[in-house]
Amino acid sequence: MIKQLQKKFIWMTMFFLGALLFVVLFLLCEQTAVRNEDEIRRALSWCLEATGSSAQVPALPSYTLLYDAPSDSYVLLGDRRNTLYDVESLRQMTDDMPYNSVERKDRVYLEKQRTRQGYIAGLVDASVLQAQYQNLISRSVVLFFGTMGVLFAAVWAMSRWIVRPVQEAWDAHKRFIADAS
């Protein structure tokens, strides 16, 4: 009976502590995802402004592709940190896209808007953000299970300490009944 009481105490405590830890880690990951999406939106907005203002340069590699229909020419403006993209590869990505929509292709976010003489497209390479997010999730899982293991050991030891007076009272009661009979 005392062992069942101890087991119930351990499982109930672990359930509530685990639920609390899970919620905290989930909210941390969710907040990071929202912050990443905001950073991508800001970078796309910066690309579509095409003003080249250096005051709000995004932290992510960002590019602007300008298409001029009358001359059938493309101009690529953007970040020199990442040279994986050229005019031709960006043109192929954006030509078939609908206007005023954001699309995600692998780790790249694209947005295309119509202009008077063609279109302007913004491209943001979010591979760094996505790698950091995946790293956060894997570390959160490891942290969850590691913390649950440590908490289990602590709760098990604490349950033995908490149940000890009850066990002693139960043993004294059994001795009293045996002595009385």
Report the SS3 class of residue 17.
helix
* pLDDT value, residue 83: 60
pLDDT tens per residue across all 181 residues of the chain:
778 888 888 899 999 999 999 999 999 999 999 999 999 998 888 888 865 555 577 788 888 888 888 888 888 887 666 566 777 877 888 888 888 888 888 888 999 988 888 889 888 888 889 999 999 999 999 999 999 999 999 998 888 888 778 777 878 888 888 888 7
Return the ∠ at Cα 15 (arms to 10 and 18), rounded to 5°. 115
* pLDDT value, residue 50: 62
Q: What does the alpha-carbon distance between residue 25 and residue 37 come to, in Å, rounded to a whole number?
A: 19
Residue of 57, 63, 36, 46 whose CA lies nearest to 133: 36
* pLDDT value, residue 55: 55
* pLDDT value, residue 174: 83
Domain boundaries, the chain: 2-180
Q: List, in sequence order, the alpha helices (H) in the chain.
A: 2-49, 87-95, 127-180
Asked if 4 contacts 166 with a C-beta cutoff of 8 angstroms, the reply is: no
Please give the structure tokens belonging to residue 60.
Answer: 């992510």
